[in-house]
């Protein structure tokens, strides 16, 4: 078979329907009630690094129901419905929601591991700058300028010119360090939101179970699920490893969700080799 044609198919099975409703309601709350009353939903429910004072254990789940824009939530919910409905019809509601939550948790944990690695490096560099400045050590100003350049921290051009010409001005160096401190705290408290990690697990399971099902890119170009899935996973893995500055997409969460989803479905499918189409 080249396409998936189940005998009994619900267009909107119960778990998918409820996930869509919850995500949309939370998105509306983010952009109405939360803004109106200045409720810090991102601080409370988005995922933060373990080193952040904003981190809470429940964020491993709650971040999956927050989204940053119409495009963000639409893309995630469309993919959830498109691929998730097939899996829920195949597995049933209980198994599907278990799978979905575990994929989201796995994606969050892998994202936090890599985030913790990056933040640890940043923390060590920042601590060294503080020690150099407080110790009034030579080269402290140059080290701070290099730190700002490495982490793409914008500085006032006139101030940069002055600090370069006056590297021994301890007061000016202090102001520079204050600016770097603000950027450091902002980076440490950067929130991660979205259901993408869990949805990548759903996509991986669909590709594994139905590798020869045709997908239609932009609704016109047919491509088998296995090739689309491999290309998409390779794309995410490439940019996760590249770790480009300014990339605000949680690539390792996507990779983690796909890996967890694939491992789960392979384990569940060990004794059922006929579930391929």
Of the three residues 157, 188, 219, the one that is the final residue of a domain is 188
Of the three residues 142, 158, 188, the one that is the final residue of a domain is 188
Among all chains, which residue has been given the structure tokens 């949680």? 250
Regarding whether 220 and 195 lie in a shared domain, the answer is yes
Answer yes or no: is pLDDT of 40 > 60: yes
Of 33-37, 137-141, 214-218, the one with minimum mean pLDDT is: 214-218
Higher-pLDDT residue of 61 and 134 is 61
Regarding whether 122 and 198 lie in a shared domain, the answer is no
Answer yes or no: is pLDDT of 250 > 80: no
Give a yes or no: residue 26 inside a domain: yes
Q: What is the mean pLDDT of residues 146-169?
A: 86
SS3 label, residue 47 = strand
Of 120, 121, 76, which Cα lies nearest the Cα of 254?
Answer: 76
Of 125, 128, 138, which Cα lies nearest the Cα of 170?
Answer: 138
Residue 165 lies in domain: 117-188
Of the three residues 188, 211, 232, the one that is the final residue of a domain is 188
What is the value of pTM for the model shown?
A: 0.82
Give a yes or no: residue 274 inside a domain: no
3-state secondary structure 141-194: HHHHHHHHHHCCCCCCHHHHHHHHHCCCCHHHHHHHHHHHHHHHHHHHCCCECC
């Amino acid at each position: 078979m080249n396409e998936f044609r189940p005998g009994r198919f619900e267009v909107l099975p119960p778990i998918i329907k409820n996930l869509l409703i919850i995500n949309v309601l939370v998105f509306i709350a983010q952009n109405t009630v939360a803004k109106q009353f200045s409720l810090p939903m991102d601080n409370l429910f988005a995922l933060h690094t373990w080193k952040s004072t904003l981190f809470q254990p429940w964020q491993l789940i709650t971040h999956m129901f927050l989204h940053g824009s119409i495009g963000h939530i639409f893309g995630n919910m469309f993919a959830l419905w498109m691929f998730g409905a097939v899996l829920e019809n195949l597995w049933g509601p209980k198994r599907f929601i278990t799978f979905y939550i575990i994929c989201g948790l796995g994606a969050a944990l892998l994202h936090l591991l890599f985030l913790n690695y990056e933040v640890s490096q940043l923390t060590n560099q920042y601590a060294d700058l503080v020690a150099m400045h407080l110790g009034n050590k030579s080269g402290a100003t140059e080290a701070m300028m290099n730190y700002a350049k490495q982490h793409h921290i914008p500085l006032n051009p006139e101030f940069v010119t002055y600090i370069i010409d006056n590297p021994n001005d301890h007061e000016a160096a202090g102001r520079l360090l204050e600016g770097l401190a603000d950027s450091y705290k902002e980076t440490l408290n950067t929130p991660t939101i979205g259901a993408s990690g869990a949805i990548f697990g759903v996509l991986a399971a669909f590709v594994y179970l139905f590798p020869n099902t045709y997908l239609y890119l932009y609704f016109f170009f047919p491509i088998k699920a296995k090739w689309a899935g491999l290309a998409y996973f390779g794309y995410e893995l490439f940019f996760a490893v590249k770790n480009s500055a300014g990339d605000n997409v949680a690539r390792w969460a996507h990779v983690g969700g796909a890996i967890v989803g694939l491992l789960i479905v392979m384990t569940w499918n060990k004794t059922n080799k006929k579930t391929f189409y």
